[in-house]
Structure 1
Amino acid sequence: MTTSSQQPEGKYAAVNGINLYYEVHGTGEPLVMLHGGFGTFATMYSALAPALMETRQVIGVDLYGHGGTVLTERPMSFESMADDIAGLIEYLGFEQADVFGFSLGGAVALQTAIRHPERVSRLILISTPCKRAGWHPEMQEGMTSNSATFFRNTPIYGAYVSVAPKPDDFDRLVSEMNHTLGDDYDWSAQVAALKMPVLIISGDSDGLPPMHAVEFFNLLGGGLRDAGWDGANMVPSQLAILPGGTHYNINFRVDLLLPVLTPFLAGGKA
């Protein structure tokens, strides 16, 4: 992984009408990792990805308009970005892959599972609601209220221009993100129809309240009855609420994440 101010070394996949930047690290079963808004694979998973690379082939993606993937004339949407990921899995020659996403990347991962369930074997979502109203009200407001001028005074802008092939696209990226994150959505019905195992991870002080993560888990059939002495009533999906987890530190709490992620990715129970 590259965390320096130089352009990262990766590859490009011609999928869904764009050139999607990705990196491949490690060996084993494929695990596609999708970062949060205004981030990159290298920056948001600098702590967690190396541990996962020890047992998995980690495919780190820079989502549309982020990092090494430039904006085109195509409008930004969760759905089109999900089609990018399904296209990448096919491009790499995999029938299926585990797909992992945080925040914006979680929404894209979720839409990938909804739109292309045949491509997703297991789904891991961190800090990801199943509907826009699941975010705290202040989070919903913040997603559309910050301008490009505001971001120019934050590390987000410096990180963007250090790796973006077209740094002048930053203002347009902010505009596209405001539009995408401002659109209302409720994917509850589609979530309830998912068949693959889903791991929902949220912090107890996250951008969404723990009660929404529980609601999400309920849609998957989880938490609705006692498991039974032999676990016979458990569902394939799982829920983890991490103590001290916030929307800003949860990706870096490897000590809390790995004990939950490792057994789930191995097909077992935490």
Structure 2
Amino acid sequence: MSYAEVNGLRLWYAEHGAGRPLVLLHGGFGSTEMFGPLLPALTRRRRVIAVDLQGHGRTADVDRPLRYESMADDVAELIVHLGLTGVDLLGYSLGGCVALRTAIQHPRLVGRLVVVSAPCRRQGWYPEVLAAMARHDEATGERMRGSPMHELYARVAPRPEDWPRLWVKSGELLRREYDWSPEVAALTLPTLLVFADADSVTPAHMVEFFGLLGGGHRDAGWDGADRPAARLAVLPGLTHYDILASPALPAAVLPFLTHPAVAPG
């Protein structure tokens, strides 16, 4: 467990296991503890580097907005700080967007990409999810005091009094429109998209995202020779909020990370 000085930020990270590096990026209002259920399976095969993003967990906020792009630059600087290249990334929700931006902005640093429960454009969320995101503000943060996510934040954050500020800055981020479709279509690295079948992202967008990566355009053929480099996993009986705790997630992720890559078609 350590801090790295990156882009004016003291970025906290923890390392577990050994092998090819795999960087984990948590969801909004969370921290690396979100990946607790996954770590035993992942660390048996990988050197896992779990990161607390700006303003989350043990990484104190700084005087800049929360943006997917700047957090992606932080992750890239951490990878360089650790002397690594070609690392694999797995991000969930907020962290999925950050992982995707890292691959877009710093493709030479990323080997394989796993995006869990995150869209590549803002309108990929259900309308009711977007409406809830639009209401994130200081008052919402105050109402969340005493929740499990607040209790964890209060226990590990360098400045627990920043809890309302995190909600204000997160609300500003989540109300911003984005559409990374052209940049996603230009990606060439092997990518796995993982969603719950009752996710906060619409099934139509799951298919759209997969299509941008080259998936779903043709039959793979009897020998699989025409399968795309991208993969899509929709895990049954799960939601956006419990997918990280399911053993189905490492069961989908680990084969993708260990099997030989398929060249883009």
TM-score by length of 1: 0.93
Whole-angstrom CA distance in 1 between matches of 2:148 and 2:19: 34
Q: How does 1:239-254 map to 2 (within 5 A)?
A: 239-254=232-247
Q: 1:210–1:241: 8 Å Cα contact kept in structure 2?
A: no
SS in 1 for 2:129: helix
What is the match of residue 259 of structure 2? 267
1:171 correspondence with 2:164: yes
Whole-angstrom CA distance in 1 between matches of 2:42 and 2:78: 20
Whole-angstrom CA distance in 1 between matches of 2:40 and 2:80: 24
2:11 partner amino acid:
L
Selected match of 2:198 from 195, 199, 205 = 205
Selected match of 2:215 from 222, 228, 239 = 222
Question: In terms of mean alpha carbon deviation, does 228-237 or 118-127 score higher?
Answer: 228-237
Whole-angstrom CA distance in 2 between matches of 1:121 and 1:155: 34
What is the match of residue 126 of structure 2? 136
Q: Kindly report structure 1 stretches of 4+ aligned residues shifted beyond 2 Å.
A: none
Shift of 1:150: 1.8
Q: How does 1:64-83 map to 2 (within 5 A)?
A: 64-83=54-73
SS in 1 for 2:19: coil
What is the match of residue 237 of structure 1? 230
Q: How does 1:13-162 map to 2 (within 5 A)?
A: 13-42=4-33, 44-146=34-136, 147-162=140-155
Whole-angstrom CA distance in 2 between matches of 1:182 and 1:96: 32
Write the deviation string for residues 163-202 of structure 1: whole angstroms up to 9, x where unpaired: 0001111111110100011100000000000010000000
Q: 1:22–1:60: 8 Å Cα contact kept in structure 2?
A: yes
Selected match of 2:187 from 189, 194, 207 = 194
1:201 partner amino acid:
V
Q: 2:214–2:229: 8 Å Cα contact kept in structure 1?
A: no
Shift of 1:143: 1.4
Whole-angstrom CA distance in 1 between matches of 2:78 and 2:259: 23
Write the deviation string for residues 206-228 of structure 1: whole angstroms up to 9, x where unpaired: 00122211110000110110001
Q: 1:89–1:96: 8 Å Cα contact kept in structure 2?
A: no
Write the deviation string for residues 31-68 of structure 1: whole angstroms up to 9, x where unpaired: 000000000112x1110122100110000000110000
Whole-angstrom CA distance in 1 between matches of 2:246 and 2:130: 24
Q: State the identity as a percent.
A: 50
1:122 partner amino acid:
R
Whole-angstrom CA distance in 2 between matches of 1:125 and 1:95: 19
> Aligned-pair RMSD on alpha carbons?
1.3
1:41 partner amino acid:
T
Question: In terms of mean alpha carbon deviation, does 148-157 or 21-30 score higher?
Answer: 148-157
Whole-angstrom CA distance in 2 between matches of 1:95 and 1:149: 41
Whole-angstrom CA distance in 2 between matches of 1:190 and 1:243: 29
Whole-angstrom CA distance in 2 between matches of 1:214 and 1:91: 36
Shift of 1:125: 0.6
SS in 2 for 1:148: helix
Q: 1:125–1:199: 8 Å Cα contact kept in structure 2?
A: yes
Whole-angstrom CA distance in 2 between matches of 1:53 and 1:160: 25
**Is there any run of 5+ residues in structure 2 with no aligned partner, and where?**
none
